[in-house]
Structure 1
Amino acid sequence: MNAAIDPVDLAGRLIACPSVTPADGGAMAVLAEALAAIGFAVHRFAAGEAPDGPIENLFAVRGAGAPHLAFAGHTDVVPPGEGWASDPFTATVADGVLYGRGAVDMKGAIAAFVAAAAEVRDHPGTVSLIITGDEEGPATYGTRSLIAWMAANGQHPDLCLVGEPTSQSRLGDMMKIGRRGSVNMWIDVPGTQGHVAYPHLADNPAPRLVRALARLSALELDRGNEWFQPSNLEITDIAIGNPAANVIPARATARINIRFNDMHSGEALVDQVRAILLEEAPRATLTARISGESFLTAPGALSGMLGEAITEVTGLVAELSTTGGTSDARFLSRICPVVEFGLPNATMHKLDEAVAVDDLRQLARIYAALLRRVLPG
């Protein structure tokens, strides 16, 4: 008889691991033991060096051949902060609610999928888990390293489910079929320092920066489309750092972020911003980092089967959405269709992060229902 796995117990044991990025805190060992017990071959490796690493990564696989359904997630968590009602790394259940850092984002979802895989044991095809310890951090040595490892070892998923917390008001009310891209840009406008009473002997960079930022802030990048909200450019920092009231500064800097839909590429947006900046401040420099491009998994087989599983368990019809921030789905979408679905996200990254025990058990049932649809026995 197949051994059952209680998602609440497994989530609690994962929460007990203080896996603040890039630390593992023992989380991968807990997960590896649970997966090995239900027939998975577990492969673990560390990637990268300080300060962004090393990062613990795990790939587990059971079965062979097509179809191959992968579940992707992360065991790392953000720092808990001060002011919790209980120890953030001690799982606490009170009044039907499980508390602890990572309960929602996303140790709870990982535990739910492992419980589902323990229930659905006899299946054709392949089930795998792609688990990193570097999603909340710079994402340098996590999922991208796992994708490279998979390619080198002949593992090619046909479909991928990411267990990010996508539900809004109730478990099952939303899944994500895409995400906007993100690019950060750092602007540096040099000038010539001087006395404010002698401006002809100086070159104040502040007006140049202000004019450039005004033009950038007024940009209408697009008006959105069928699946995506409009792209938005936000000024996130302006700095001069001038301690003297009578000195024209030598430098002015700013930082902006653009969240963009599939009507743009990160590189094209960088070029657009640079052109405007140089018109107002010819000596300015722009440094950019594209965190991820936008992606869309058009409604199809995976979202359809997941929607059916959600309705079967909860009675809800999940909204298909592309809202929210970035996730590791931006990397996984390059290798196969990707859909994200997980727990209600109201408490993720907050003090006293928590998930209803009933939601955790229901999520395991939804994942099991999806497994039966993708891998019918």
Structure 2
Amino acid sequence: MAEFLRGWMADHGFAAHLDEVGNAVGVRGDGPLTVVLLGHMDTVPGEIPVRVDDQGVLHGRGSVDAKGSLCTFAAAVAALPPEALAAARFVVIGATEEEAPSSRGARHALTAYAPDAVFIGEPSGWDALTLGYKGRLVARVRIEKDNFHTAGEGSSAADDLTEGWFRVRAWAAGVGGPESGIFARVQATLQDLGSSVDGLRQRAWATIGLRLPPELSPDEAGEAIRAAFADLGAEVTLLGHEHAVRHPRDNALTRALRVAIRAAGGTPTFKVKTGTSDMNVVAPHWPVPTAAYGPGDSALDHTPEERLSLDEYDRAVAVLTDALTRLAGTLPARSLSAQPSPPTDPS
């Protein structure tokens, strides 16, 4: 996949290579401004036969999340006019391991670039831009104890694990309050659950995924998870620590996108997402204007019905090409920076 993308970019005017962690990187332009367009190549599992139907809709895993966005980045930068390339250097990165807690590709990119503006490749719809994502924490829980006859007194390993899960759900329901919007609440999900008995020992295990609001750090959430299982003899491993992030609505990047969307006949809207993305990874290290952009409906992410209208894809390429051209001519390098803002009403 990376080699295919590298080859396509090399054939379309990029200086392209594969970096040390397998990212496909393409660079065009030599101006003082650096714009990073960070998308990801990997997808979640699930084979969806690739086809284009009679309505011009592309079906297939990754069509929305997020190869559609990554291809939009590459196609838009390939189409930039000479004046944009003279004003800025555009770095398209097809990153590895975004669909994993490691985010290996994005973390490597942090060490290689100091951008003035950042686009994250995730579906927003051609006429919208995403400014924020919830945080994340993953807890792997395991309980092991001696076997006993079920006619006797006591609780099984599965009983104890279930009790801990009910406590986690009760804690999550109390964060933010029932009147809060979903971006301000904790979403707790069982991602894996199982148990076994070999006649001598009982074992139960679970993977719990948490989506965290801006007011709650992964460390604080981790303390709550450990407390829920503290008296149950559980082994708790925490991973995938990502803080929630939300960027400002008004800066050179968002203005360029909004103007380009209007020029294409759309009405730009702002979004915040309940999932996570590489925006969460790079935001603490790249305090510059940032937005996620890409064609497609994010409600189709990870589903058996993942699909992307190729008309929308073409429109997103045109919008992004226009926005990048406007952005490159807006301000000199290093004058675009803006720290992510504190959380506000998503509307």
1:181, 1:234 → 2: CA distance?
Answer: 14
Does residue 360 (structure 1) correspond to residue 313 (structure 2)? The answer is: yes
2:182, 2:165 → 1: CA distance?
Answer: 29
User: What is the root-mean-square deviation of aligned Cα atoms in Å?
Assistant: 3.0
Counterpart code for 2:167 = R
1:29, 1:42 → 2: CA distance?
Answer: 6
Does residue 375 (structure 1) correspond to residue 338 (structure 2)? The answer is: no
Q: Deviations over 1:159-216 (max 9, x none)?
A: 101121122xxx31x32111111111122233332233444xx774454434333222
Counterpart contact for 1:182–1:259, Cα < 8 Å:
yes
Does residue 232 (structure 1) correspond to residue 187 (structure 2)? The answer is: yes
What is the match of residue 255 of structure 2? 304
Alignment map for 1:23-38 (pairs within 5 Å): 24=2, 26-34=3-11, 37-38=12-13
**SS of 2:23 mapped into structure 1:** strand
Does residue 175 (structure 1) correspond to residue 133 (structure 2)? The answer is: no
What is the match of residue 116 of structure 2? 158
Alignment map for 1:1-377 (pairs within 5 Å): 19=1, 24=2, 26-34=3-11, 37-38=12-13, 40-47=14-21, 56-81=22-47, 84=49, 88=50, 92=52, 94-117=54-77, 118-123=79-84, 124-137=87-100, 139-148=102-111, 150=112, 155-167=113-125, 171-172=126-127, 174-199=128-153, 204-219=156-171, 220-223=174-177, 228-242=183-197, 250-278=202-230, 280-281=231-232, 283-301=233-251, 302-318=253-269, 320-334=270-284, 335=286, 336-345=288-297, 347-351=300-304, 353-376=306-329
Counterpart code for 2:294 = G
Shift of 1:375: 1.0
Question: Paired residues, what number?
Answer: 320
Change (3 A) 1:296 1:192: same
1:197, 1:358 → 2: CA distance?
Answer: 64
Counterpart code for 2:229 = L
1:107, 1:205 → 2: CA distance?
Answer: 42
Counterpart code for 2:8 = L
**SS of 1:272 mapped into structure 2:** helix
Larger radius of gyration: 1
Return the TM-score normalized by structure 1: 0.74
**SS of 1:355 mapped into structure 2:** strand
Counterpart contact for 1:161–1:339, Cα < 8 Å:
yes
Ranges of 4+ aligned residues in structure 1 off by more than 6 Å:
224-227
1:80, 1:212 → 2: CA distance?
Answer: 31
1:111, 1:196 → 2: CA distance?
Answer: 57
Change (3 A) 1:121 1:209: same
Percent identical among aligned pairs is: 23
Counterpart contact for 1:221–1:232, Cα < 8 Å:
no
Change (3 A) 1:192 1:341: same
Counterpart code for 1:359 = E
Return the TM-score normalized by structure 2: 0.80
